[in-house]
Structure 1
Amino acid sequence: MRSGALSCSDVGRRVRLGGDLQTYIHSRLEKGGHKILLMTHVIVGYPSLDANRKMLSYMAAADVDLVELQMPFSEPVADGPTFVRANQEALASGLRVDDYFDFVEEAGQLCDFPRLMMGYYNPVYQMGHERFCERLRQAGSAGFILPDLPIEEYDDLFELSEQNELEPILLMTPTNQQQRLQQIGDHARGFVYAVARKGVTGTQTQIQDTGVTDLLSRCRQATELPLALGFGLTEGKDLRPLHDSEAQIGIVGSALLRSWEEDGEEGYVRLLQDLAQNR
């Protein structure tokens, strides 16, 4: 390692304390020996906070690179049936917004990779932008993903996220025209979430489809930031075609939750290992 260079763990710690996700991603790729990074997903409160703790511990053992911690919401418009039901059951269990932020902070003791808030804008609006960003910073989050908030409606969120050393992760979709992708790219920080297809989470995506390749190519024209491909990746073999693509991160969420529900903890661990080995 060059004198004065940051190790992956050093960069990861810096990100967790409010740092540079882009640097972390490039460092993990360079030092970790993987072709693609793995970002996973947890719906906080489902099936329980104790189960979430186990999930994060298993992710840490599998050396996952990043995780989305979803704040449950009653109308998760970008989510498929598995996540919709999980959101509703988490709320029905009595999970409060304060409980969510407490868990994000606790998660820092369970895993040493960056944690990103994922959720919908209504709870953020109810909290107020300033309080939202402050709470995320205090909890140790690296940034946030708000799939239902267009950049024109961010208002002071860009400025407040910078003040609180948070990365606002923006989405690029197949329906975006190139001019729109460029507008999103101009505002993006950390990395860009490329949505593999139209629709909601949980439906399988064929990575070899020319539409996915074309989307990643168009996203790359609009930004030099790392690209994370999500929506429909289900197993390790889905990550392998990304090795030679424009993407730097593969996102797996619904498949992991289904494995927990259908195959228990052992199945969950097997899928995590399969994903980790195929990065």
Structure 2
Amino acid sequence: MDLAIELKRRLNTKPILLMTHLVLGYPSLAVNREMIAQMAANGVDCIELQIPFSEPIADGPVILKASQQSLEAGIKVEDCFRFGQEMAAEFPSVRFLFMTYYNIVFKYGEEAFLRRTKEIGFWGTIIPDLPPEEGATYLATSEDLGLAPIQFFTPTSTDERMREVAALAKGFMYCVARRGVTGKQTTFDDSLATYLTRCRKATDLPLAVGFGISSRDDVAMLQGKADMAVIGTATIKLVDAQGPEAVGPFIAGLLG
């Protein structure tokens, strides 16, 4: 099934969807497995699994540190594929996507990477450092395989740019809530509401909002303005502070 259709179907019974994010291999694949199990049990709709890269330019210090430690521990792209295949098979209610940087995809081989992603049961990819103008073969191959190549709106995008990017997107639009890198708190004010209204006018794809979403209040503020809240850095901080067993109650509380 097309990812956009699937997400819209879920929105018939939920006020807003949740997408979570974790860095593969941090602090270990065993902990990743426990985190995913708790996320799935508490109704997370999508999970983006980040394949670590040495220069994650869109990520803040928490995810940067997680990526560095995972790489230092020896995580390989092949480990990520094998683990992803296990998770997609074990948790069929979750729509999994890979998030990484284009250097990883390029080195692996673009077509081979995307074909493998499809074969293991994933629904799409998120590659923040690949502008659509430079991703013609990536977009075409994703289309051929039925994968969603997730594209981005940002607060600095013009209305024309939004329409151009949306025309190349599948699955959903990732709406970056503010300028900068991941992890900093986002202020929910009139400017964010105006931005999301612009996003809505530019596409009929579901809107996922990320960068700084960390609490039940944040998620509640997005209801009616967006279709999916993206929780990333907050979960990693929680696991660092309280262990993976804290993930389930945290996710449950976001919508409770």
Give the TM-score normalised by structure 1.
0.89
**CA offset at residue 220 of structure 1?**
1.4
AA at the equivalent of 1:191: F
The CA deviation string for residues 191-243 of structure 1, in whole angstroms up to 9 with x for no partner, is 10000000111111122x12211211111121111100000000111111111
Asked if the contact 1:62–1:276 (Cα under 8 Å) also holds between the matched residues in 2, the reply is no
The 5 A counterparts of 1:127-138 are 127-138=108-119
Q: Aligned partners of 2:114, 2:224: CA distance in 1, in Å?
A: 36
Q: Aligned partners of 1:20, 1:183: CA distance in 2, in Å?
A: 21
Q: Aligned partners of 1:214, 1:60: CA distance in 2, in Å?
A: 32
Q: Which residue of 2 aligns with 1:239?
A: 219
**CA offset at residue 133 of structure 1?**
0.9
Structure of greater relative contact order (alpha carbons < 8 Å, 6+ residues apart):
2
**Equivalent of residue 66 in structure 2, options 63, 83, 86:** 86
Q: Aligned partners of 2:5, 2:162: CA distance in 1, in Å?
A: 22
AA at the equivalent of 1:187: L
Q: Which residue of 2 aligns with 1:106?
A: 86
Question: What SS does the corresponding residue of 1:144 show, helix, strand or coil?
Answer: strand
Q: What 5-or-longer segments of structure 2 have no aligned partner? A: none
**Equivalent of residue 261 in structure 1, options 240, 248, 256:** 240
Asked if the contact 2:58–2:181 (Cα under 8 Å) also holds between the matched residues in 1, the reply is yes
Q: Which residue of 1 aligns with 2:2?
A: 20
Q: Which residue of 1 aligns with 2:16?
A: 36
Asked if the contact 2:178–2:186 (Cα under 8 Å) also holds between the matched residues in 1, the reply is yes
1:167 aligned onto 2:167 = no
Q: Aligned partners of 2:182, 2:70: CA distance in 1, in Å?
A: 18
Cα RMSD of the aligned pairs, angstroms, is 1.1
Q: Aligned partners of 1:80, 1:241: CA distance in 2, in Å?
A: 23
**CA offset at residue 266 of structure 1?**
3.6
Question: What SS does the corresponding residue of 2:117 show, helix, strand or coil?
Answer: helix
Question: What SS does the corresponding residue of 1:187 show, helix, strand or coil?
Answer: coil
The CA deviation string for residues 129-167 of structure 1, in whole angstroms up to 9 with x for no partner, is 111111101111100000111000102111111121101
Q: Aligned partners of 1:40, 1:57: CA distance in 2, in Å?
A: 12
1:272 aligned onto 2:254 = no
Q: What 5-or-longer segments of structure 1 have no aligned partner? A: 1-18
The 5 A counterparts of 1:133-144 are 133-144=114-125
Identity level (%): 42
Q: Aligned partners of 2:89, 2:75: CA distance in 1, in Å?
A: 20
**CA offset at residue 178 of structure 1?**
1.5
Tell me whether 113-122 or 266-275 shows the greater mean CA deviation.
266-275
Asked if the contact 1:64–1:276 (Cα under 8 Å) also holds between the matched residues in 2, the reply is no
The 5 A counterparts of 1:172-187 are 172-187=153-168
**CA offset at residue 29 of structure 1?**
1.2
Q: Aligned partners of 1:274, 1:42: CA distance in 2, in Å?
A: 18
Q: Aligned partners of 1:134, 1:97: CA distance in 2, in Å?
A: 14
Q: Aligned partners of 2:219, 2:90: CA distance in 1, in Å?
A: 25
**Equivalent of residue 66 in structure 1, options 41, 46, 66:** 46
AA at the equivalent of 2:249: R
Q: Aligned partners of 1:265, 1:53: CA distance in 2, in Å?
A: 9
Aligned residues: 255
**CA offset at residue 110 of structure 1?**
3.2
Q: Aligned partners of 1:267, 1:140: CA distance in 2, in Å?
A: 28
Question: What SS does the corresponding residue of 2:167 show, helix, strand or coil?
Answer: helix
Q: Aligned partners of 1:189, 1:131: CA distance in 2, in Å?
A: 20
AA at the equivalent of 1:189: K
Q: Which residue of 2 aligns with 1:9?
A: none
**CA offset at residue 248 of structure 1?**
0.4
Question: What SS does the corresponding residue of 1:170 show, helix, strand or coil?
Answer: strand
Asked if the contact 1:63–1:276 (Cα under 8 Å) also holds between the matched residues in 2, the reply is no
